[in-house]
Structure 1
Amino acid sequence: MKPSVSVVIATWQRTALVQRCLEALAKQTMPETFYEIIIVTDGPDPATVRFMKQWLRAYRGKVAVTCISLPVKKGPAAARNAGWRKALGELIVFTDDDCVPQPECLEKYWVAYTPYRDTAIAFSGRIIVPLSGIPTDYEKNTAQLERARFVTANCACSRKSLELTGGLDEEFTMAWREDTALEFDLSEKNIPIIKVPEAVIVHPVRAASWGISIKEQKKSMFNALLYKKHTRLYEKSRMERPPRYYYIITCLLLLALVFAFHNRPGTIFCMAVWMMFTGWFAWKRLKDTSRSLPHVAEMIFTSAVIPVISVYWNLYGAVKFKTFFV
């Protein structure tokens, strides 16, 4: 029996997360023969392929599960495209390997889709990010997914809508803004996006290394690409740009370096103002977050570094993608 729904999951060397996601998808209230699961590794990933072979040997359900690999690493957008193009279903559901779809998720999407069969349509579900106690800055940022309008962690598109838009834009080679680009593509093609709050996935916060927020700044280069491709919608949505105080902090450091050679009072003044802004930024991030000593130390250190790194990557993106984005 040909499945009506195809679930596509992009992954890369995260077998424990894939296993948790698969186990949740295998417990859906939708009949097992009604949907399929397609795992796509973003490039050669022997560990995930070995895991999938072992998992499939032990699996006793009737859901069709497939694992394919991209020949080279190209990013989650390319992996998802490979998945939906191989899919047999007329409704494509996207989720991430670190998500846990709740039992009725697929059924709720199918019920919402049924009145629109054979049309170009898209859907956005609900994301729950469980937080325990007082969160860290990283956990608080992850929780913003609960307010996201359209993300590939929990959305669905009819095959026709993906064919009309060409799928996800593969120029977005990191997990950042590729889902917003798809949202904007759908909007520009006048394809409706319908909210389905009953289609729920839980997105637990993954463990993060100390100072992860510095590494995360690299993704911001793709803000410039999104702005270039969808300027009107980017501005209309009031999407983020580097805060002006990032530029102020960066300029203060540069001025301090310039003054260091011939103007001691100027250097002292710039560094004093820089410390004031940096302290305010650290306090802003610590507000309503954990006050543990390691977290406080992380916030102070990263608050001194993030503005400069963020400005660098945003300007890098503007140059790389040849657009005026500041």
Structure 2
Amino acid sequence: MSDVTVPPAPEGLPYVSVVVPVHNDTARLRLCLQALAAQDYPADRFEVWVVDNNSDDDPRPALPEDERFQLLRERRRGSYAARNRALPHARGEVFAFTDSDCLPHPDWLSSGVRALLREPRPDAVGGAIRIFFDHGTVPTSGPEHFEAINEFRQRKYVEEWSFAATANLFVDAPVLSRLGGFDATLQSGGDLDFGTRLGRAGGRLIYDDDTVVDHPARSTWRELGRKTVRVANGIADRSAHLGRRDALARAVNEGSGAVTIWLKVWRRNEPAPRRAVEKVRYAAAFAYVRLLRTGVHLGRFTRGR
């Protein structure tokens, strides 16, 4: 973190450093930064660090003409390396993380800080991530149905799996410093790794439903496929030490899920859309994801990694 100190505000509000990694997403980054510029948190109590992670396009046009918004570049591939790039430059007593495709609500910073100052004091806060769709308020494509049911379940992540997605995460700066930031070697799953290390260090993570960002659903098969392969490779990387037998077991489990979803989707107690055509779309997307994961784990098995 930066050695430059920030004088305390009269109202006692901590200075916040917002970190936003970006890769080839200038159009949505502009909307994200506009939402950050419109925060109801005092303007002199936060800064925004945008970290370009080897984009082909130039993100500079997306930055507001505002000295609080600064651009850094990180050549190492991966959003976690990009987030770490901002840490030595930032002045915040609190770090707030979101993504370039997210739209923070106007009170996002205020709510996140309020949750972080709640007694007994947590060390980190995971806020709500609400999915929106290309065409209105309901999903239409198979990938959208899949994301609406299976992705960004932040409350579950925090309360059952002890981590928070970095699309909406607040962390006390001293805690982040002690943990050494994120694992920059990971392409996916760095949020889970951070939450695990936080828990092992005795840190406390809470969920706050009032700290909200909106996140677009992946609406195309290509978008869903790219994310699936990235996440599956991250899981395979983190479990590589378990050997080929584990890789094969994961492949079998994923392949089984691709088949059984076509039966489960019709059961009343299973999360699924209501209409038959929507069930088929959802099942197709679910099976697609599971088959892609199967391929990743089989690849690791055959290569003996």
Q: Output the TM-score relative to the length of structure 1.
A: 0.70
Bigger proportion of residues as helix: 1
Deviates more, 1:137-146 or 1:35-44: 137-146
Is the 2:126–2:205 Cα contact (8 Å) retained in structure 1? yes
Matches within 5 A, 1:1-326: 2=6, 4-43=15-54, 45-49=56-60, 51-52=61-62, 55-56=63-64, 59=65, 64-70=68-74, 72-114=75-117, 121-131=123-133, 132-143=137-148, 144-147=151-154, 148-149=157-158, 150-173=164-187, 176-208=188-220, 210-219=221-230, 220-227=232-239, 241-242=250-251, 244=253, 246=255, 277=259, 280=262, 288=273, 303=287, 307-317=290-300, 322=305
Q: Which amino acid aligns with 1:66?
A: Q
Following superposition, the deviation at residue 204 of structure 1 comes to 2.5
Taking the aligned partners of 1:163 and 1:320, their CA distance within structure 2 comes to 37
- Give 3-state SS (helix, strand or coil) of 2:58's partner: helix
Count of equivalent residues: 272
Taking the aligned partners of 1:187 and 1:7, their CA distance within structure 2 comes to 23
Cα RMSD for the two superposed structures? 3.8
Q: Which amino acid aligns with 2:175?
A: S
Following superposition, the deviation at residue 23 of structure 1 comes to 0.8
Deviates more, 1:137-146 or 1:27-36: 137-146
Q: Which whole-Å deviations, capped at 9, do the CAs of 1:36-57 have from their partners, x for residues lacking one?
A: 00100112555213x14xx44x
For the structure 1 residues 290 and 138, does the alpha-carbon distance in structure 2 shift closer, same or farther, using more than 3 Å as the test? farther
- Give 3-state SS (helix, strand or coil) of 1:13's partner: coil
Following superposition, the deviation at residue 186 of structure 1 comes to 0.7
Taking the aligned partners of 1:20 and 1:66, their CA distance within structure 2 comes to 16
Taking the aligned partners of 1:307 and 1:224, their CA distance within structure 2 comes to 14
Gaps of 5+ in 2: 7-13, 159-163, 243-248
For the structure 1 residues 170 and 86, does the alpha-carbon distance in structure 2 shift closer, same or farther, using more than 3 Å as the test? same
Is the 1:81–1:168 Cα contact (8 Å) retained in structure 2? yes
For the structure 1 residues 29 and 317, does the alpha-carbon distance in structure 2 shift closer, same or farther, using more than 3 Å as the test? farther
Q: Output the TM-score relative to the length of structure 2.
A: 0.74
Is the 2:142–2:281 Cα contact (8 Å) retained in structure 1? no
For the structure 1 residues 76 and 319, does the alpha-carbon distance in structure 2 shift closer, same or farther, using more than 3 Å as the test? farther
Gaps of 5+ in 1: 232-239, 250-276
Following superposition, the deviation at residue 278 of structure 1 comes to 8.2
